[in-house]
Amino acid sequence: MSRVRGTKDRHRLVVQRSNRNIFAQVVDDYSGITLTGASSLSEPVKKGSFKAPAERSRAVGKLLAERALKKKVGKVVFDRKHYKYHGNVKELADGAREGGLEF
């Protein structure tokens, strides 16, 4: 199993999932810092009227993309860890793409 690493041009978008929530961060691997993050517990997502977990995941992706673009991060490498690219992980990725991130 290979590891996903960011480069100087592309930072790493990391996804973490639990049974109830989904979390995403944009990480700079060279400096070892988290540039921005969003989760289903973030206020804009939490206050939204989303009925399905997939809708919440897409909103998290859009929120993360908005925050990343404010930090001038447009290109990322998608690190889904051991999660399948399916369901909520796919919705988060689609939301981030809709928000303007490129990966």
Q: Where are the domains of the chain?
A: 11-99
Integer Cα distance of 98 and 11 in angstroms: 18
Among the ranges given (18-27, 43-52, 92-101), the one the predictor scored with the smallest mean pLDDT: 43-52
pLDDT band at 93 (very low <50, low <70, confident <90, very high): very high
Handedness of CA 24, 28, 29, 33 (dihedral sign): negative
What's the predicted TM-score (pTM) here? 0.91
- Write down the CATH number for the domain with range 11-99: 3.30.420.100
